[in-house]
Amino acid sequence: MKNVIGVSLGARRQDFEFRTTFLGAAVPASDLAGFLADAHPDVVVVSCTRVANLAGAPGAVAAAHGAGIPVVVGVETHSS
């Protein structure tokens, strides 16, 4: 793999032997799509740790799939 785009990467980057790019939290799908068009990553990693943030995940997945890029999604839930 050449690189991985992490919208929110939950793992420590030094654990990987490939390049990652952290875009930050709550990246709009349109901004992600533009970045993907320029970067041409091998995979997009989306991590959600708050239920409130799950609403944006489908847009990120759609942006990546629209660019022909596979997506890995991880969700951490906390019971209250």
pLDDT class for 1, splitting at 50, 70, 90?
Answer: very low
Any domain includes 44: yes
Which range is least confidently modeled, 4-8, 14-18, 35-39, 72-76?
4-8
CB-CB contact of 8 with 35 (8 Å): no
Any domain includes 80: no
**For residue 29, what are the contacts with CB-CB under 8 A and spacing of at least 6?**
56, 59, 60, 62, 63
Any domain includes 7: yes
Q: In what order do the strands lie in the sheet with 19-22?
A: 19-22, 3-6, 43-48, 71-75
Domain interval for residue 9:
3-75
The pTM score is 0.72
Count of domains forming the chain = 1
